[in-house]
Amino acid sequence: MKNSIVEKLQKKNAIIGIAGLGYVGLPLMLRFVEMGFAVLGFDIDAEKCRKLNAGQSYIAHIKPESIQNARTAGAFEATMDFSRANEADALILCVPTPLDEHREPDLSFVINTMRELLPHVRKGQVISLESTTWPGTTEEVLRPMLEERGFGIGEDIFLVYSPEREDPGNAKFTTRDIPKVVGGSTPACLQVGKALYENVVVQVVPVSSTRAAEMTKLLENIHRAVNIGLVNEMKVVADRMGLDIHEIIRAAATKPFGFVPYYPGPGLGGHCIPIDPFYLTWKAREYEVHTRFIELAGEINSAMPDFVVSKVMTALNDHGKPVKGSRILVLGIAYKKNVDDMRESPSVVLMEKLQALGAEISYHDPWVPVFPPMRRHHFDLKSVELTRELLQESDCILLATDHDCLDYEMIRENAKLIVDTRGRYPAGLAKVTKA
């Protein structure tokens, strides 16, 4: 069984099934198609499937031409019919793993996807989980589900964990260029997992177990969260001292060893960094370990929106304006520049907090023309045109996401007041408050 699936993967005769066609699943699909595989994509969103089958893209940095080419070649189809899972030789799960209202892991998307697939799973398939999760998920959640169906792991079914490492909008590192960590439930599973990915990425990095692969992903993102927490705390200290933290970081980054620059902001955004540390702190409690360092960084990062709001309040006060009734234009509501990704965007938290204080909120973001439906947030807003008149009429311009396409000089010339959370403007400029 193992030799058969490995041979199919090596010869590119295998059909790849991808469950979840979002920021992770869609680029992965395109890479498999590019390397000569046929891909069957599964998603519960009918509109996504319709658009993809029509050759359209719903992610701004993924060009529709790439979807059209995959469709024209007959190498890709999107479907809501999970019963077709038996057509695939590999099933890759790329579904969300958010936190619930108590900031504890929510595996409902993973579990529900597996439940949809399970009746149609057959012998000889490889199943790979790519969603970020706590160490032990693959063995403690997915493996029992497969074994209850009577499958022998490493004999009938090959189970692996390979964490996604997508960075939306990063043209320097694509799916092809980023090494792929792979852990298997058994040595045979690992061998099949390596065969699955080695045709589509430059390097496969095998590790000893699925738990090691799961922990690797958490370490990567916790490393970023902790270091961002450090510079966010340094930002507050520097602000009290009248110093520009961005100038200091740029100067420190000239050291050729022993320093890696991280940059502060209005809060953490994206699906990974604001969420992943909580997956480890939750699991660590099972081992009677209190992850104080990680949780402290989380507290600092979570406090950044309040710091920004206080800077907006002070800046408006200095201009003789209360927050209540002030017209505040938020520039950029995606979680980072040059993408349309709204997941966990700190801009939304800022908008909610300022609106609660009585401000009149509008936003401009060329990447997000209409405020999208979100599970925990709602604004009935559209991106407004960025004109000189709008800038002049606004009481405060809150630069929350510094897209490269914005005309920063025009903004500075016409704004009454700018609160800059991204260090886009140098220190000392009139009308600019650093936050």
Catalytic residue at 396? no
3-state secondary structure the chain: CHHHHHHHHHCCCCEEEEECCCCCHHHHHHHHHHCCCEEEEECCCHHHHHHHHCCCCCCCCCCHHHHHHHHHCCCEEEECCHHHHHHCCEEEECCCCCECCCCCECCHHHHHHHHHHHHHCCCCCEEEECCCCCCCHHHHHHHHHHHHCCCCECCCEEEEECCCCCCCCCCCCCCCCCCEEEEECCHHHHHHHHHHHCCCCCCEEECCCHHHHHHHHHHHHHHHHHHHHHHHHHHHHHHHCCCCHHHHHHHHCCCCCCCCCCCCCCCCCCCCCCCHHHHHHHHHHHHCCCCHHHHHHHHHHHCHHHHHHHHHHHHHHHCCCCCCCCEEEEECCCCCCCCCCCCCCHHHHHHHHHHHCCCEEEEECCCCCECCCCCCCCCCCECCCCCHHHHHHCCEEEECCCCCCCCHHHHHHHCCCEEECCCCCCCCCCCEEEC
Q: Give strand pairing partners of 330.
A: 363, 398
Cα–Cα distance, 278 to 260 (Å, whole number): 24
Q: Which residue is catalytic, options 49, 94, 189, 272?
A: 272
CA separation (Å) from 94 to 7, 110, 263, 328? 24, 8, 29, 37
**Strands 418-420 vs 396-399: parallel, antiparallel or unpaired:** parallel
**C-beta of residue 284 within 8 angstroms of C-beta of residue 105:** no
Q: Give strand pairing partners of 40.
A: 17, 77
- Which residues are annotated as catalytic? 272
